Structure 1
Amino acid sequence: MDYSQAFAISAAGMSTERMRVDVAALNLANANTAQTADGVSYRPLRVIVRSLTAGTFAQRVDDGLADASGAQATSLPLPQADVEPADVKPRLSYEPGHPFADKKGFVSYPGVDTATEMVGLMTAIRSYEANVAAMNTARTLALRALDIGSAS
């Protein structure tokens, strides 16, 4: 069994979840950043994960089981994560005394939903922990396989 694939899958998962944690933290940190007088404001971000493979599920399974020569495939395509601005409307708050208030007294804040961001943050942390557990399990299996091989 090739344990490097298990390590690569867990590492890719940990990297993606770390990115989700960073984005959620950035969104939460800028949730109450007011839009300046010149109209520049923070745009909430989101993590988009894309699969690098295309085709039907059966084709992807066949590609993962054997390569063109009939040997077992040596690597798995890992997903790619990108950070993109979220397309959400700004939140308007009536604060007539605020220095960045418009003529009607409204201040524009980023459209960050703190509850959604906190749930996303907790989910990313738990997923990261699950990937760490999977990597530790694969490491333990690899070490035990070496012990079995050296005992015989």
Structure 2
Amino acid sequence: MKKFFTFILLSVAMLSQSQTIPELRGYLKQGEESAAAGKQLIARSMAGYNKTKLPIYQSFLAVGYFFMAKHDANVLNKYKHFKNGKEQMSAAVRKDPSNVEIRLMRYISQEKAPRVLGYYKEMEADKNHILKWYKTSPDMALQRYIESYFGLK
């Protein structure tokens, strides 16, 4: 009976994660151009992370902070958002360094960050990891996105 309840709990957790990740990806697509989408990305990913403690949510949270750094008019707030994003992304990668989607988010974030901020040092390692392991992901949408992003097909 105990195993049954554990199975149910894990199934519900996985189902809720699978429903949320596509939603967060939608905010990723809008967040670079929309401060409102960036704020939604922060709120939704923070809720997902607080509920599950999964690093994938932490990486979405990081990208939300990077978006807010772009949209905020105040220079001090821009840097604060950037610093929060960098800290969250580093923590997510430390917790799950083999996760291709987390490494992809860090790669793209570093690619888009102004060079003067010095946030580009892991790009080569991330790209190598992504290209080596992306086909092992069971997420076909992620595989197609990576192939498109890197011009593989």
TM-score (norm 1): 0.30
The structure where strand makes up a greater share of residues is: 1
The structure where helix makes up a greater share of residues is: 2
TM-score (norm 2): 0.30
Q: Which has the larger radius of gyration?
A: 1
